[in-house]
Amino acid sequence: MRFNMRVILRWTHIIVAIPIYGYLYSPFDKLPLYAHPTRYVFFPIMVLTGLLMWKGHLLRKVLMRSPARHQTAS
């Protein structure tokens, strides 16, 4: 499962980065058309997938940790 999740994250990261490159290298008069989707959709998704690929193992470790049992002193 880890392998599949990493492949999905990697391809999502790559595909979402394409519109960002288009925004950066588009003619100046077309920038307003790409501004809102790039800032509020594509860039946050790219950052999130990048962080999950980088530090996702720590997040999975924290989420999969079993809750500590409370021991009562007698």
DSSP the chain: -HHHHHHHHHHHHHHHHHHHHHHHHS-GGGHHHHHHHIIIIIHHHHHHHHHHHHHHHHHHHHHHSPPPPP----
Instruction: Give the residue-averaged pLDDT of 30-57.
Output: 91
Tokens 């288009």 — which residue? 22
Higher pLDDT, 63 or 48: 48
Please write the tens of the pLDDT for every residue from 53-74.
999 888 888 888 866 655 565 5
